[in-house]
């Protein structure tokens, strides 16, 4: 029996190690700002590292340098920083989903909490430097990240984790926005901006997720610890305490399975309560997770905006819609300067009003950047501009070592999609949208690559 079990463990290790280069495997370490000049830095806790990260945020916000000591432009840095954290957190959540599916596959041969878990830990949790880079750069100490990950994040339904994190992020963004719009806007200094980004980043750290689950704070007020006293949030719903590593080690496999099932059931119930509570809070038929002027939209208007931006029309302005808004804003250098009036990851009244009027996103476009950068305005942004697409093809040939047979693509066909995928790999861009035009790819295709390009 021991021989058979060891053989099955070897099979699991072989299967999982076959994905050793998968981006999901790297992201299991936790969300981080993937900046080439910081990824291998030894002085990640230094002021210079924070400076480099803030400069990257400034570039994304459309600023050529960091704002002065007291400037309203620090709010733009906050917005850009939160958007970058959203992207990395979304990739982290995707990685947890990936790991969960790998473990479920292995579960047919060996125990989920036994050999297969050990195999994944051995392959995917060698260190936590990716998350430590960002955390240290912003003054957040690595608080046993790997242990928390082993004890919680690889053993709970990924959708429940995602819902809890997104709830906490939504509450945090709303609180920031309310303070920004208040009589005394606090986000006009570097220290206030860094503190705001610190708090938001902490929501997606494994140690913070463990705390959120174990405390089971009010289902309507998930916030960062620095903003509210959890003891002041009122009654907490019942939630089984996550067993510690020592407790799990002492359990029999059957007891472990029972404990895991109870924990998952409790957390999924909590997530269901959170979703129900969020839906109940939709006042006056407004979109979920709206910010500022976006909250003036009715729900159907918000869905129209999402359809225009090439994302699912569900009325929830979560991470996918935020990414689409950023891509829309990045398209303003060519065909849509009159549509884009800011670059802070939020829609103002002018922008969302005009987006409602442009109609739905249709093939061959797959995202907002493609639609609004490479189309004819006269066609309602529904037909590719062959000249602009041709210029993209030429740039891919010159900067990304792409080659095309004659005739070259003049629309987003299968040939161009394949070339875009190769270009992302050429520059080392880690994204799930490799066959699409992305902000990172355009940054790499510049004569002088920008800060979003990992291969500078």
Share of residues in the chain with pLDDT > 70 (%): 55
Q: What's the pLDDT score for residue 303?
A: 94
Q: What's the pLDDT score for residue 148?
A: 39
Q: What's the pLDDT score for residue 207?
A: 65
Task: Report cis status (omega within 30 of 0) of the bond before 364.
Answer: yes
Q: Report, as an integer, the average pLDDT of 424-448.
A: 91
Q: What's the pLDDT score for residue 387?
A: 92
- Give yes or no for residue 196 having a pLDDT over 80: yes
For residue range 398-425, what is the model confidence (pLDDT) as tens digits? 999 888 888 899 999 999 999 999 999 9
For residue range 118-127, what is the model confidence (pLDDT) as tens digits? 333 333 332 2
Q: Report, as an integer, the average pLDDT of 153-177.
A: 75
Q: Give the Cα separation of 112 and 120 in Å (integer).
A: 10
Domain boundaries, given as residue ranges, for the chain: 2-278, 292-379, 386-445
Higher-pLDDT residue of 317 and 119 is: 317
**Best CA proximity match to 288, nearest among 307, 273, 306:** 306
Q: What is the pTM of this model?
A: 0.44
Q: Report, as an integer, the average pLDDT of 448-455.
A: 81
Question: Among 14-28, 266-280, 286-300, 301-315, whose mean pLDDT is lowest?
Answer: 14-28
Q: Give the Cα separation of 272 and 266 in Å (integer).
A: 10
Q: What's the pLDDT score for residue 385?
A: 93
Higher-pLDDT residue of 275 and 77 is: 77
- Give yes or no for residue 278 having a pLDDT over 80: no
Q: What's the pLDDT score for residue 310?
A: 96
Q: What is the mean pLDDT of the chain?
A: 69
Question: Among 59-63, 80-84, 109-113, whose mean pLDDT is lowest?
Answer: 109-113
For residue range 341-360, what is the model confidence (pLDDT) as tens digits? 556 678 988 889 889 989 99
For residue range 246-267, what is the model confidence (pLDDT) as tens digits? 554 454 455 555 655 555 555 5
For residue range 127-152, what is the model confidence (pLDDT) as tens digits? 233 334 444 444 444 333 344 344 44
């Amino acid at each position: 029996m021991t021989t058979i079990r060891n053989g099955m463990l070897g099979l699991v290790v072989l299967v999982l190690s076959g994905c050793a280069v998968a981006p999901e495997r790297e992201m299991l370490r936790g969300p981080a700002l993937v900046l080439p000049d910081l990824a291998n830095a030894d002085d990640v806790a230094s002021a210079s590292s924070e400076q480099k990260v803030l400069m990257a945020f400034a570039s994304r916000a459309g600023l050529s340098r960091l704002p002065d000591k007291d400037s309203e432009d620090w709010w733009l840095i906050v917005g850009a920083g939160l958007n970058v954290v959203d992207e990395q957190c979304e990739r982290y959540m995707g990685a947890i989903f990936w790991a969960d599916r790998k473990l479920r596959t292995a579960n047919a041969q060996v125990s989920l909490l036994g050999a297969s878990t050990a195999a994944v830990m051995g392959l995917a949790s060698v260190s936590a430097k990716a998350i430590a880079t960002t955390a240290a750069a912003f003054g957040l100490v690595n608080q046993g990240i790997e242990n928390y990950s082993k004890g919680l994040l690889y053993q709970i339904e990924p959708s429940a984790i995602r819902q809890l994190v997104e709830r906490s992020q939504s509450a945090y963004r709303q609180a920031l926005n309310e303070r920004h719009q208040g009589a005394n806007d606090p986000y006009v200094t570097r220290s206030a901006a860094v503190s705001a980004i610190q708090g938001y980043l902490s929501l997606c750290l494994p140690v913070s997720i463990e705390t959120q689950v174990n405390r089971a704070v009010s289902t309507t007020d998930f916030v960062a610890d620095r903003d509210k006293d959890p003891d002041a949030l009122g009654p907490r719903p019942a939630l089984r305490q996550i067993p510690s590593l020592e407790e799990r080690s002492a359990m029999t496999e059957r007891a472990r399975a029972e404990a895991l099932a109870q924990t998952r059931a409790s957390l999924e119930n909590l997530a269901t309560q959170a979703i129900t509570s969020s839906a109940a809070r939709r006042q006056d038929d407004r979109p979920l997770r709206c910010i500022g002027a976006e909250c003036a939209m009715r729900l159907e208007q918000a869905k129209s905006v999402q359809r225009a931006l090439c994302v699912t029309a569900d009325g929830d302005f979560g991470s996918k819609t935020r990414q689409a808004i950023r891509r829309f804003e990045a398209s303003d250098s060519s065909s849509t300067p009159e549509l884009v009036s800011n670059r802070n990851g939020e829609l103002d009244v002018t922008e969302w009003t005009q987006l409602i009027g442009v109609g739905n996103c249709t093939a061959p476009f797959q995202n907002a950047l493609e639609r609004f950068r490479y189309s004819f305005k006269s066609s309602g942004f529904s037909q590719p501009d062959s000249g602009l697409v041709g210029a993209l093809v030429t740039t891919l040939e010159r900067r990304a070592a792409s080659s095309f047979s004659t005739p070259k693509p003049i629309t987003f066909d299968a040939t161009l999609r394949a070339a875009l995928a190769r270009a992302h790999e050429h520059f080392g861009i880690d994204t799930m949208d490799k066959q699409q035009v992305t902000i990172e790819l355009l940054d790499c295709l510049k004569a002088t690559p920008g800060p979003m390009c990992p291969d500078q």
